[in-house]
Structure 1
Amino acid sequence: MLSGLFVLGITVAVFVGINIGGSSTGVAFGPVTGSGLLSMRQASGLMAIFVLLGGFTVGTNVVETLGSGFVPAEYFTLSASIGILLFIGLAILLGNVLKVSTSTSQTAVAAVVGMGAALGVLNWRTVGVVVLWWLLSTILAFWICAFIGRYLYDAVVERLDLESRNSRLAELAVIGIGCYMAFSAGASNVANAVAPLVGSNQLGMLPGVAVGGLAIGVGAFALGHRTMETVGEDITDLSLEASLLAESIAASILTGLSWAGIPASLAVVLTACVIGLGWGRASRRVPLRSIARPDGTTASERSVQAADRLDLFDPSVTKRIVTTWIASPTVAGVIAFAAFEAAQRLNLLA
């Protein structure tokens, strides 16, 4: 017979998964819906399917890291797991309320790190490795897309010419990349909903992935439309080509991190790509051949560049997103540390 505490744990895990689904759907399919290729309901359906695929095929690596890499698995008692999941869910809910795709993996890691630090059992080496890859992946995503947006975007658009060709194959390719990003979301984010329960042996690996994946799918339908609007419409005016570029780069980065078992943030990487591409296009667009010339750009080219500035990068929206990226993990980590520190002092963890 199932205990009430176990049922509560599953309920909290589903709550976390639903909020992850709301947050991750925006970064997986925001560019696609922003380009008008899919409706939000269609995108949510694809999100639900490919999250499960990613969770079952690659997500187990990340579940192991989050469930035992930062804190020894024996410290994830059922009560502790429920507390961690609750802190994660509330912090991610903050992002969904603000219509911003929260860094779900960073929020989950921050909560676990807060627990480990309070109990004095944190593996700081794992923390260092994961944080280093967070920084590198975000910087890499932004600057690759910024460079393309500033110097190569026009050439790429001219070569692809997707709008005039109206190529169904090209549109399917963009949708396919969105599915690939959903796959990566499942690989990375299913762990955030169930890793504490799996680490404590309250759930087996495959049942845990199933619970997390299904909950994320529900969240895609219930909350995903909010963050898809922000990523696909508010940050930058995404064309079909921009969608293809941003998601291709982000998918490549996320896939590598997920295979390595790094709980990477889909929200941070893809939104960094979108912001980088928008910033690059909104800033001075200079043909690469002009930079390579000994005398640089001509006065005529500079005049054209000034007149051709694109109002595609919204600093106010970007500031709100970056603030939420920082706030959500901080809230989760601080609350988890304070709660477990207090519980330890009051001997409630025995």
Structure 2
Amino acid sequence: MVEPLLLVGVTVAAFVGYNIGGATTGPAFGPAVGAKVISKSGAAALMSVFFFVGAGTLGQRVVTTLGEDLVTGANVFTLETSIVVLFFIGGALFVGNYAGVPASTSMTAVGAIAGLGLATGTLDWAVMGEIAVWWIVAPIIGFWVSGVIGRYFYPTIDQWVAIESTDGSLIEIDRSGALPRPVPGPNTTRRELVGGVVVIAIGCLMAFSSGTSNIANAIAPLVGAGVEMTPMILLGSAAVAVGAFTIARRTLDTLGNDITELPLTAAIVVAVVSSGIVISLSAVGIPASFVIIATMSIVGLGWGRATRTVTASEGLRGKKRPNVSVGALKVDEISEIGQGDPSDIPSAADLFNPATSARVVLMQNVVPILSTVGALVTFSLLFAFLW
């Protein structure tokens, strides 16, 4: 009876890992893909590698914490309860991925485990409260920091960075030698290449941080039930890689293209803000809501740029022009006012899509609620049969 249950548990854990790959690849590499710095396949490959590195190192500590600290009962995690918890985690994440919206794996997993703790009276409210407070505060910080940057500092940063996307690929594969090697594209400038490397490196850092926290969401219940940790980390990381190469393409589109246009400068801003918050929370032992923070940073930057009011005299090579208010123009676009076709100037709607942003925020709250309520109701009804 134990072996079939274990097989079912491992299968459900792999399904959760698959959906984690779909949900977290977008926030990590969506800015880079949206800025055409890297392809979706390249993003998936880097996500797979750095997620595994994070999972195999710091991720082990998070697995232990999530499998033991949040729920205090000695024998709460069994193979049966673990399978049910993982089922609700994977099912809820699949709903978000199918809708093309990356949901928070941490919120979804903790919600399902909290549902088990509520049903059995073993939830540690102090731990849960501390996590919940930071889940509320961190996305707000990400939104407003990015919004302020987009509204007041983006043109200055854009001038500092001075990276303009050129036609063609940023990096190409040279197959003329014995081994294929990456080389700059034919039109790639040095500044563009440096900026691209920076935003990819930050994406890799975010993938690493995702591995440190999100591997626990796939395997912690089974490890808490007594399954050995190392094989489960290998299994979970492999499942994440499959998700990154398949279903993550939808979330990469959503976060890289649909919410807001992301030139390379914007991609760097989003990556720095969101990864900085995630790393800060990880340093103090808080399981970061990786997806929510990154997504709200993108939304905040788009909102800030869309609501910014500038004058046509800004950046006009020293020429004075009438003060004409325009929405969220890039520095190079501002310099062309009065010289080109006014219809070419992007509107606020081009830089910020409220409908898509509302759909993202709604789904990212619905998915964790589905896992929490589903687990709570199920364990409340089946409590007598499981113990």
Q: TM-score, normalised by structure 2?
A: 0.83
Question: Is contact 1:235-1:317 (8 Å) kept?
Answer: yes
Structure 1 or 2: more helix by fraction = 1
Q: What amino acid maps onto 1:83 in structure 2?
A: V
Give, in whole Å, the separation in 2 of the partners of 1:285 and 1:9: 54
> What corresponds to 1:293 in structure 2?
none
Question: Among residues 318, 325, 344, which one is paired with 1:304 in the alignment?
Answer: 325
The whole-number CA distance in structure 2 between the counterparts of 1:28 and 1:69 is: 28
Matched, 1:174 2:211: no
Q: Deviations over 1:188-238 (max 9, x none)?
A: 21111001111122222x332222222111110121111000000000000
User: Which one has a bigger Cα radius of gyration?
Assistant: 2
Per-residue displacement from partner, 1:110-133 (whole Å, max 9, x unpaired)? 101111001111101111000111
What is the rounded CA distance, in whole Å, between the counterparts of 2:303 and 2:261 in structure 1?
11
Distance 2:282 2:71 in 1: 19
Q: Residues of 1 paired with 2:39 and 2:2: CA distance?
A: 40
Which residue among 210, 227, 233 is the counterpart of 1:185? 210
Cα displacement string for residues 23-60 of structure 1 (whole angstroms, at most 9, x for unaligned residues): 11111111111111111011100000000011122212
Task: Assess if the C-alpha contact under 8 Å between 2:309 and 2:328 holds in 1.
Answer: no
Aligned to 1:63: 63
Q: Output the amino acid matched with 1:184.
A: S
By how many angstroms is 1:256 displaced? 2.3
Q: Is it true that 1:200 corresponds to 2:225 in the alignment? A: yes
Deviates more, 1:104-113 or 1:2-11: 2-11
Report the aligned-residue RMSD. Answer: 1.9
CA distance, structure 2, for counterparts of residue 221 and residue 307 of structure 1: 34
Gaps of 5+ in 2: 166-188, 315-320, 330-346
Q: Aligned partners of 1:306 and 1:264: how far apart in 2?
A: 33
Matches within 5 A, 1:190-229: 190-204=215-229, 206-229=230-253
Gaps of 5+ in 1: 291-298
Normalising by structure 1, report the TM-score: 0.91
What is the distance in 2 between the residues matched to 1:86 and 1:39? 32
Kept in 2: contact 1:254–1:266 (CA 8 A) = yes
Q: Is the 8 A contact 2:54 2:208 kept in 1?
A: yes
| CA positional deviation for 1:304 | 2.8
Percent identity between the two aligned chains = 42
Q: How does 1:221-260 map to 2 (within 5 A)?
A: 221-260=245-284
What SS class does the counterpart of residue 351 from structure 2 fall into? Answer: coil
SS, match of residue 129 in structure 1: helix
SS in structure 2 of the partner of residue 237 of structure 1: coil
1:258 Cα deviation after fit: 2.5
- Does the Cα contact within 8 Å between 1:102 and 1:328 map onto a contact in 2? yes
